[in-house]
Structure formats: structure tokens, C-alpha cells
Amino acid sequence: MFLQATVYQGELYGSTLGAVLLLFLALFLAALLLFLVRRRYRARQAEIMVRVTELAALSEAGRALVESQLDVRALSELIAAEAGKIIDTRTFQLGLFKGDLYQIVYWTVDGKRRPPTLFDLGDDGGLVGWVREHREPLLIADFDTELNELPARPRYLSDTPPLSGLFLPLISGDETLGIIAAQSSEPAHFSQDDVRRLTILANQAAAAIANARLYEAERTRAAHLELVGEIAQTVNASQDLEELFEVVVQQTCETFGFHPVSIFSVQKPSGDAIIQASSAGGIEAGDVCVPAGMGLIGSAVAARQTVISNNTAEDERFIGSVQGFPGHQTRSEIIIPLIVDSQLLGVLDVQSNVPGAFTAQEQTVLEALAAQTATAIHKMRQIATQREQAWVTTAQLQVADAIRQSSGLEELLEAITRLVPLLVGVDTCTILLWNQELRLYEGVAAHGFPPQVEERFHRIELPIGSWSALDAVHVGMMRLSTNRLPPWCRDAATEEREEQWILYPLVAKGQMTGVIVVDEPPPPSRTLQAEASGGFGERQDEMLRNIANQTAQAVESEQSHIAQQEEAWVNTALLQVAEAVNSLIDLNEILSTIIRFIPMLVGVESCLILIYDEETDSFYAGPSYGLDEMERGLLESFAIEASELPPMEPLDVSPPTPGTTIYRVKLPPWMRDVMGTESANVLPLYARNRLVGALLVGPPTSQRPLLGRRLQILTGIAQQAAIAVVNDQLYREAAERNQLEKELDLAHQIQASFIPHGSPDIAGCTVASFWQAARQVSGDFYDFLELPDGRWGIVVADVADKGVPAALFMALCRTVLRTIAFGRHEPAPTLERANRLIWNDTTSDLFVTVFYAIWDPATETLVYANAGHNPPLLLRASGKSSLLHGDGIALGVLESVAIEQREVRLKPGDLVLFYTDGVTEAVNEDYDEFGLERLRLTAAATRRREAPAIMAAITEALDEHAGGTAQSDDVTLVVMKRHEQLTRQSA
Amino acid sequence: MTIWQRTLAGNLVVVGIEGRLDQSLTPELEVELDQVLVAGRREIIIDMSAVSYINSGGLRCLVTAWRRATQQGGRLALAAMTPRVDQIVSMVGFDKVFEIYPSPGEARRAWEEEE
């Protein structure tokens, strides 16, 4: 405006003068202008200088701020100091927002510092809230006058409220980080200029704070992650899960300052959370169980996601303390699932007594930690599994190795009982084997017991019924658990064991061969450790089943090997006995040899062979073992009546060994002393269905009953002995028979000498005779007696029965008859007298039938008497035939007899056949008798011939009829033929 | 080929023989009659109806029993002999030794009447 005026005046005074004037004026104006400009410039320069200084100060402050601490707290100190250079900061605050919380980081009231304080802005944020929300500075000159015009109600925090104030937002990007505010008790203490200048500082401060925060966040994060890394390292170095959990909770607690920190495992399938480790004192693994779905932990388990509660007081899910797990101080809690391969292993539970302790940052860090932990658990489980597998493999190999290297069954089982505690982790292991013969279990191998218990175990024998658990396993062939003490532990001296015992059956080829007994370890605890190893009990069980299997196979093969060896041995032993028996002849020698074998092969204290004598029904002592001279002498001097030995009750052998018979007998009192035992085992010696003796066996040296192989051997030996005895008897019988045969031959010769030799020369007749004994000696006989006056007596007799007694009786009868016949010349009186003599003489019940005829050539008559004999056949020359009957009775039965005497005239050509029933009753193979009719027909056919020829024809016919059939009766035939020529001679 | 016996009242016993009374059956009959006699039964009726044949050994066996029975005050009868056996017994003259009846019943009745 001033310059415009000057230009206007110059145009008014015109041309030259005007021009000079104008020039002066111009100069003046210029000088004035210059002065003014200069002044103005100076002022301006001063102002600029001030502003530059101010700006320099601010920028220095800003630089200082930017370059200064990256720590928010130190930064706030600096901001306050810088602000103090601009305004009065005696009452000043710098606060930062954290969610709904407002934290005054730097605070002075009337120049006095106050500690940082946290405020909850809540719904009504007051002026601070307004500034935060609107991001605009607020200048209040006088609270009192402006109160109603303020955008929000101030929240007084002092008893002496300020009159003026100033609020500036700290803005960084979209976020209002905090507030800078100053107040004063004087009105209008702060100007717009102050606002302007402070705004510049606030902007720089905000940037610095944002940076610092970022930096701090980054640094914290880095630090935390570093810590997580460190924890992870420690975790990975942990030897087992227990240690791992302990490290995680302790380190998390120490590093982040949260308490308590806990790890829970999650049970399957219940979903119950079981505590494994906690920084809270006095809590052991398994102490706390949070049921599924309960509380924050339950929520996290159910959702398999991190659950955060930053204000537990208002969280419905929060349940406070659980079972001694403290929760009453908890204000914030974060629960992070431990998940690997979508498998929920457990949860990490971190609590704090400060509300809002778990921001996204804590969540990130703790989740990283949880992931590490979960991985570590998983790895450890895998390692544990591998270790288990390796262990199982190694254990199986070890067992297999032990089985392969053991040279005997006992050594093998000892090795297994030593291995099992090492491999399976039990304290004791015992093996009992089933003895099929004795039907009981025997202690074979034991490990882990005190010596006296092991010693007792090795002697133990458990029949069925002595340990119910064992019985059950024996029958069921199944693993069984019992809390009843095994019998070998039942002793006052043994400390009371409370544990369970498990019995594993040793089953091979469907048969019980024995049992393995181990003490059961305590049940697996509810720890993740236990879970990680896949249930230790199951492993043990699997391992033991496997060992039981291998052992059973080994036992079975070993036992069958032994059985084969034993069988071979038995066979060899019996072969030796047989050889000895065969190489000897004398029975006593054979039996002595057999007796010597018995103690060697069977192991008995004494044995004795008794030989049975059928006739006396008694036993006689044969060779023996284990008896002294006196005892033997005693035995030999007595015969033991068979009735003294029974009752022979078969020994209760179940199942009976096939082909063996052994009896236990009570010995007669006198034999008990001799044998040194009350009852003995007796094997009857049977051969060819005859009892030939007995083998008495005293007590076994081993106290074991005689069963199985030993019984087999004994039976085999007894058979050999029986054969030896019976062979000897047969041999002797044969010898006796031989002797008897010789004697009978002799008797036959003697008897034959009684029989007339050749045919006597009887006047008017020809005679022929045939005599054949069914055995060596005969009861038949015939005789020709030359009586005075040319008469001839003809006797045909048949003694009842046959054999030697009959032959002797025949000799008697012949003698008697001869004696009497020569004195009395009548047949009937002769026979009657003979009867009396025979009856007197004989005590036997033998009798004799006799036909006695006297031929008187002078009268041509045949006078005869028949004492019960077959009536001779008279065949007349005319062809007619009749029998020479006569009333009589066999001699020797009744004291006195009456015998009828008859006579018959014999004409030339007449034929008389005297015979015994051996002729008529000669049978063929069909039992068809030769019969009187055949005899008659044969004789009739040849009656024209002489006596010898007729007789030959008859014997021929007899032979033909019998056809080789052995005849049981003696055959006697006498043919007497009246001369045909008599008529010619007389003529 | 069997031997049977039926004990009747008192000392009376009937012994029946079936078969050939020769060496095949005689030893058995001996044992049987011995038992009867040892048991004190002395009144013996032998039922001969089923005896097809008798030889000297068989006769001797019967004679022995007869002798023992009579010595002990008893008696022995042969009953119901077949013609052939009867012929043999008669031939040997033992019809003079044994009491002979057509049937065991008749023997028994006869004995009872005698008493």
C-alpha cells in the first residue's frame, strides 16, 4: 500500500522539475523504503532467527528423540525434558495406550515426579479418550469458564484441579499412541503457539515412540525367541520326558516371569488332562486331573486351539482352583495345545496374576515354545519306541542266544531266569517244569530270591491242588495274575511280599510243559513317560509271552531229545540184558546177571527174584541184590506160599505206562525185615500164560516212584527173567520127558516080553495074534497058557484106562491069572478067584475085563468064561457067526463075583476072533468106528485062509479104516482057526 | 460136551453128562464128581441120557465115584442110559455094580420109597 502511494505522487508533479522533485521524492521514498524494508528485514531476520533457533532446537530435540534411547521409558524422560524447554511442564504427563488401558509413563505434578500408573479408560475416556479418538490437540484456557464447552468431561485426578491445560495426541500413522498433556493452576497459561511448537515435538516424539516400540517389540520378540531357542535346546537335551517337562515349566517361568506354568497330558479317549509338571510347588506328575471339558484347559483340549483369558475374573470358563492346583490368584491364563501330526499330546498352561498378561506377542512366543515342546515330546516318544523295539529285538536275540548256547535244559532255564529280570525289569523269575510221570510241577530254575528261598524252590514239587493259580494255568494254559504268594515264598522268614505274581504257561504242541513265574511290577503310573513307552506293562507282557514261547519250544525239544536218548538207552540196556540172558545157559547164572543189571539200570536198594513152583503154589528165593548173607539165608530156607504175597493190587499208575504191570504188595512180617521195607513193588513174571515167578523190587534209591522209563526197563527185565525161567522149565521138562520116554520105552519092552512071542503050536488050530499099544505101554494083553493034557488057555484082557498105571495093573492081572490058571483048569473059577486076588491087591480103582477060554483038542470044545469083556466073534465054517457071550463082570470091582462058564464045539474051519474094543472102536477121521460088523465081514471074506492071513487082512482093513487117524486105544486081536484038514486027516 | 449138576433136597444130586464119556470128557467128570463127594453129597444120580458113548476110562471114573459114595454110606445110580451105553455097561457087567433106572426121576422116587 505504501509503494502504491508513492507511485501515484510522482505522476502528479510531472516533467523536469517535476522530474527532479520526483527524483528526490523518489530517492527519499526509496531511502524510506529501504529503511522500512531494512527495519522490516531486521525484524524479520530477528524473527527468522528466533524461528530458526526454535526450529533448530526442535529439530535437535527431534534428532535427539529419534537418535536417543529406543527404550520407551527413557524416551519419555527425554520428551518431557524437551517439552520443558517449550512450555511449563511442572504439571505434565506422557501416557501411552494399551488397549483400553492408559499408562502414564512420565508424570509430574507441580514439579514432583509420580510413578508410572495404569488407568482403565473404560467407556468414558474423558478428555484423554476424546483426544485419542479425535487425534486433535486440545487447548483449554480456563477449565472453569470453558467447562461446559469442553468436548468431554475432564476426569480430575487431583485435589487441586488445574485451571488451564493442554492435550496433544501422539500420532503415528493410524494409531494414537498416547497423549502429552500439561496443566497449570493459572488460567490461559498455554498459548496457541505453545500448541504449535509442542505439536512439532509431539509428532517427532510419536515417531520416536513408535520406533522404540517397534524396536522393543522386535527386541523382546527376538529375545523371547532366543529364549525359546534356548529352552528348546535344553528341552532337546533332556534325557526323558519328566526332565523335559520340568525344564519347560521352570524355564518358561523364569524367562517370562509367568507363574504357575504347567504341562498336562491328555488321556485317551477320556480327554482328561493329567498334570505332568508344574512350576507351582509340591505338585507331582499325576496329582491333578482336570476332567474333560472342564475349565479353560478343558476348552483348549476340546477346541485343540489356544485359549486365552486375560481377565479370568470375568471369564465364565475359568473355574479357579482344581484339586490342589492353585488358581485363585490367576488373573490371566493362556492354554496352548501341544499338537504334533494332528495328535494332541497335552497342553501348556501358563498363568499370570496380572490381568491382560497375554497379548498376541506372548501368544506367539508361547505357541512357539509349545510347538518346540510338542516336537520334543514326539521325538522322545519316537526315540522311546525305537529304543523299545531295539530292546525287544535285543532281548529276543539274547533269549534265543541263551537257548542256543545252553548245553542242557537246566542251564538253559537258569539262563532264562537270569535274563528275564534284566530284560523285563522284574525282580524275580522262576521256572517250574511239568513232570508228566509224577503229574506235578518241579522247581527247576529261580533267580532273584534269597539263597534259602532258591534252595527251597529247587526242592519243591507242586502236584495239582497245591497252588490254585498254578492249577488254573495248568488247565487254562493262559497267563494268570495272582496276589497269592507262591508256595516257595510262604515262610515266616521271607519278608511279606505284597506284589502280584504272574504265571506264564509254557505250552508246546498244545501241552503244558511248565510255567514261568515273575513278580508283577507296580502298575504303570499316569505319566506321559509311561504313555510314551507305549504302556510298559504291555511291553513286558509281550516280551514275557515271547520268552515263554521260546522257552516252551526249547523245553519241548530238549525233553523229546532226552526222551529219545532215554529210549535208546533203555533199548541198549535191555539189549545188554537180553545178550547176557542168551549167552548163558544156567538159570541161576542168568537170573544173577539180570539181578546185577537192575540196580544199575533202575536204581533200587534191593531186588529179589522169586521162582514160582506150581505144585506147591509157593515161591522160592532166587538171586537177589542188596541183601546180606543172613537175610539171604533166611529167605532161602523158607518157601513163600503164594497166599503170603497177595493181595497184589496194581499200583496206581495214571496214566498207566502201556504194557507194564507193577503191583505194590504188603510183605509178610518176616520178609519186611529181610527186604528192609514194608511194602515192595512186585512184577509178576509171566511167560506162556504161566506165572513162573516174581520180581520184588525194594525202595528206589532216588525216592522217586518207579515210573516211566524205569518202569519200562523193569518190565523189560522182568520179561527177560520170565522167559529165562520158563525156558529153563521147558528145558528141564524136555529133559524129564526124554527120561520118561526112555523109561517108558523100557517099560514097553518089559511089557512086550509078557506078551507071547510068535504063535504057539496048538493042536487042531492055528492062531495068530496082534497087539499094539496106543502109547508106549498098554493096558491090553493076551496070553496063551499051555495046560496039561494038550489043552490051551487063551486069555484076552483089557485093563480100564491106559498108561503106566494100566500097564502095571496089567502085569499084576497077568501074573494072578497065570498063577491061578495053572492050578484050576476051569475058566470061570479061575476068573472068580483072580477077581478076589485082584480086588484084594489093588487100592486103585482099576478093573480089568478078561475073556478066558480053554481049548481042549480032545473034545474039540472051547470052554470059556467072560469077565465083562467084549464077546469074541465065532465065525462058523458054514458062514454063520455068533458072539461068545457069558454072564460076568470085570475083575477088581466087586469083592466076589459069579461068572458063568459056557462051552462051544469048534468044527473044522470054525474061526474065533478074540479082540479088545480097540479093534471095534478104531475110528477114522469122521469118528466112524470100525465096528463089529466090519470085523465080521473082513474075517468072513478071508475065513478060508489060515489064521495069520486072516489076521493080516483084519489089521490091513483096520489101517485102511483109520486112514492114519491116531487111535486112543490099545488094539489086541487073537485069531484062532480050527484046522480045515481035520476031516481029511481023520478020513 | 458139558457136565451139569442139580442139587436136590438133602444129599441128593443129579449129575448130567452130555457127550462122549471118553478121555475127552472123563477128566471133567472126575473133577465134578470129586467136588460133589467132597461137598458131602453121597446120593448121586448120573443122568446118562445124553451120553452117546462110554469107554473103559469113563466106566472107571463112574466106578471110582460109586466106590467112594458107597464107602461113605451113599449110593450112585445110572439113569436113562441109551441102548448103546446100556449095552456097554451090561457087557462089562456093571449092571451088577450100579443101580440102574430108566430116568433120574424114577431113581429118586425109588430111593425116596426106600427111605
Q: In chain B, what residues touch A832 (CB-CB under 8 Å)?
A: none
Give the model's pLDDT for residue A5.
45
Burial category of A460 from C-beta neighbours within 10 Å (exposed 0-12, middle 13-18, buried 19 and up): buried
- C-alpha A631/C-alpha A294 separation (Å) is 93
**Measured between CA atoms, how close is B53 to chain A, in angstroms?**
11
- Contact by Cβ (8 Å): A782, A974: yes
**E runs forming strands in A17-142:** 91-98, 101-109, 112-114, 117-120, 138-140
Kindly report whether the peptide bond that precedes residue A655 is cis, defined as omega within 30 degrees of 0.
Answer: yes
Per DSSP bridges, beta strands A101-109 and A91-98 are: antiparallel
Q: In chain A, what residues touch B94 (CB-CB under 8 Å)?
A: 868, 889-890, 893
Grid coordinates representing B72? 461113605
Question: How big is chain B, counted in residues?
Answer: 115
Q: Do B56 and A897 touch (CB under 8 A)?
A: no
Average pLDDT over residues A768-784: 86
Q: Output the CA torsion sign for A584, A590, A594, A597.
A: negative
- Contact by Cβ (8 Å): A482, A469: yes
Q: What are A300-310's pLDDT values in tens digits?
A: 888 888 988 88
Which of A244, A233, A261 minimizes the C-alpha distance to A532? A244
Question: Between the CA of residue B112 and those of A794, A812, B9, B47, B107, what are the distances in Å?
Answer: 47, 41, 11, 17, 9
Which of A254, A265, A344, A263 minimizes the C-alpha distance to A303? A344
Q: What is the DSSP letter of B61?
A: H
A96: left (phi over 0), alpha (psi -120 to 50) or beta: beta
Q: In chain A, what residues touch B34 (CB-CB under 8 Å)?
A: none
Q: In chain A, what residues touch B63 (CB-CB under 8 Å)?
A: 800, 845, 847, 893
Kindly report whether the peptide bond that precedes residue A260 is cis, defined as omega within 30 degrees of 0.
Answer: yes
- C-alpha A810/C-alpha A796 separation (Å) is 11
Which of A373, A363, A71, A348 minimizes the C-alpha distance to A224? A363
Q: Do B91 and A798 touch (CB under 8 A)?
A: no
**Measured between CA atoms, how close is A460 to chain B, in angstroms?**
60
| Among the ranges given (A117-126, A732-741, A893-902), the one the predictor scored with the smallest mean pLDDT | A117-126
Q: How confident is the model at residue A901 (pLDDT cuts 50, 70, 90)?
A: very high
Establish if B103 touches chain A: CB-CB under 8 angstroms.
no
**E runs forming strands in A839-891:** 848-856, 861-867, 873-875, 881-883
Q: Do B96 and A845 touch (CB under 8 A)?
A: no
Torsion of CA A212, A216, A219, A222, to 10 degrees: -130
Among A870, A893, A899, A900, most B C-beta atoms within 10 A, so best to mutate, is: A893
Distance of CA A657 to the CA centre of its chain: 26
Instruction: Give B18's strand partners.
Output: B2, B50
Of the ranges A25-39, A160-174, A845-859, the best mean pLDDT one: A845-859
Average pLDDT over residues A340-365: 85
CB-nearest partner of A868 from B23, B67, B91: B91
Which of A694, A717, A525, A509 minimizes the C-alpha distance to A602? A717
Kindly report whether the peptide bond that precedes residue A269 is cis, defined as omega within 30 degrees of 0.
Answer: yes
- Contact by Cβ (8 Å): A460, A487: yes
Among B1, B92, B95, B98, most A C-beta atoms within 10 A, so best to mutate, is: B92
- Contact by Cβ (8 Å): A905, A863: no
Write out the H or E segment, with its range, that includes residue A504: strand A501-508
- C-alpha A712/C-alpha A203 separation (Å) is 115
Write out the H or E segment, with its range, that includes residue A641: strand A639-641
Q: Is A530 helix (H, G, I), strand (E, B) or coil?
A: helix
Per DSSP bridges, beta strands A175-184 and A607-613 are: unpaired
| Among the ranges given (A471-480, A854-863, A894-903), the one the predictor scored with the smallest mean pLDDT | A471-480
- C-alpha A495/C-alpha A489 separation (Å) is 9
Give the model's pLDDT for residue A986.
42
Q: How many CA atoms lie within 13 A of A766 on its CB side?
A: 16
Complex-level ipTM: 0.93
Q: What is the DSSP letter of A287?
A: S
Residue of A nearest to B61 (CA): A845
Q: Do A968 and B22 touch (CB under 8 A)?
A: yes
Instruction: Give A289's strand partners.
Output: A274
A499 versus A356: the higher-pLDDT residue is A356
Average pLDDT over residues A411-417: 86
Q: Check whether A659 has a pLDDT greater than 60.
A: no
Grid coordinates representing A100? 483400553
Of the ranges A224-233, A533-542, A949-958, the best mean pLDDT one: A949-958
**Measured between CA atoms, how close is A580 to chain B, in angstroms?**
43
* pTM (whole model) above 0.90: no
**Measured between CA atoms, how close is A735 to chain B, in angstroms?**
26
Sheet containing A440-447: order of strands: A461-463, A440-447, A429-435, A511-519, A501-508, A480-482
CB-nearest partner of B60 from A847, A867, A894: A847
In degrees and rounded to multiples of 5, residue A817 shows phi and psi of -60, -50
Which of A655, A436, A464 minimizes the C-alpha distance to A562? A436
- C-alpha A780/C-alpha A802 separation (Å) is 9
Establish if A832 touches chain B: CB-CB under 8 angstroms.
no
Establish if B52 touches chain A: CB-CB under 8 angstroms.
no
Establish if B92 touches chain A: CB-CB under 8 angstroms.
yes
Average pLDDT over residues A449-476: 87
| Residue burial A311-350, b: 16+ Cβ < 10 Å; e: rest | ebeebebbeeebeebbbeebbbbbbbbbbbeeebbbbbbb
Q: How confident is the model at residue A521 (pLDDT cuts 50, 70, 90)?
A: low
Q: What are A854-887's pLDDT values in tens digits?
A: 999 999 999 999 999 999 999 999 989 999 999 9
Grid coordinates representing A114? 509420580
**Measured between CA atoms, how close is B64 to chain A, in angstroms?**
6
- C-alpha A181/C-alpha A139 separation (Å) is 10
Average pLDDT over residues A118-132: 79
Residue of B nearest to A890 (CA): B92
Q: Do A800 and B56 touch (CB under 8 A)?
A: yes
Q: Do A888 and B67 touch (CB under 8 A)?
A: no
Give the model's pLDDT for residue B89.
93
* Chain mean pLDDT for chain B: 90
Q: In chain A, what residues touch B93 (CB-CB under 8 Å)?
A: 867-868, 887-890, 897
Establish if B50 touches chain A: CB-CB under 8 angstroms.
no
- Taking residue A404's Cβ as centre, other Cβ atoms within 10 Å add up to 9
Give the model's pLDDT for residue A455.
84
Establish if A801 touches chain B: CB-CB under 8 angstroms.
yes
Q: What are B33-83's pLDDT values in tens digits?
A: 998 888 888 899 999 999 988 888 899 899 999 999 998 899 999 999 999
Grid coordinates representing A431? 521256572
Which of A556, A608, A290, A588 minimizes the C-alpha distance to A403? A556
**Measured between CA atoms, how close is A867 to chain B, in angstroms?**
7
Which of B78, B55, B21, B12 minimizes the C-alpha distance to A774? B55
Instruction: Give A690's strand partners.
Output: A687
CB-nearest partner of A889 from B23, B55, B96: B96
Establish if B12 touches chain A: CB-CB under 8 angstroms.
no
- CA angle, residues A662, A663, A664, in degrees to nearest 5: 130
- Taking residue A849's Cβ as centre, other Cβ atoms within 10 Å add up to 26
- Contact by Cβ (8 Å): B60, A847: yes
CB-nearest partner of B59 from A800, A871, A968: A800
**E runs forming strands in A283-358:** 289-290, 307-309, 332-340, 343-352
Grid coordinates representing A106? 512420565
Grid coordinates representing A674? 529181610
Contacts of A966 (CB under 8 A, 6+ apart): none
Q: Check whether A412 has a pLDDT greater than 50.
A: yes
- Contact by Cβ (8 Å): A473, A505: yes
Q: Check whether A365 has a pLDDT greater than 60.
A: yes
Distance spanning both ends of chain A, measured CA to CA: 240
| Among the ranges given (A572-576, A588-592, A860-864), the one the predictor scored with the smallest mean pLDDT | A572-576
Q: Is A461 helix (H, G, I), strand (E, B) or coil?
A: strand
Q: Check whether A14 has a pLDDT greater than 80.
A: no
- C-alpha A265/C-alpha A947 separation (Å) is 134
- C-alpha A719/C-alpha A713 separation (Å) is 10
Q: How many CA atoms lie within 13 A of A943 on its CB side?
A: 23
Residue of B nearest to A850 (CA): B92
Question: Between the CA of residue A821 and those of A648, A674, A811, what are the distances in Å?
Answer: 64, 68, 15
Establish if B96 touches chain A: CB-CB under 8 angstroms.
yes
Radius of gyration of chain A (CA): 72
Q: In chain A, what residues touch B92 (CB-CB under 8 Å)?
A: 849, 868, 889-890
**Measured between CA atoms, how close is B92 to chain A, in angstroms?**
3
Residue of A nearest to B90 (CA): A868
Grid coordinates representing A211? 520406533
Q: What are A505-520's pLDDT values in tens digits?
A: 999 888 899 999 988 7
Q: Which A positions 847-866 lie with beta carbon below 8 A of chain B?
A: 847, 849
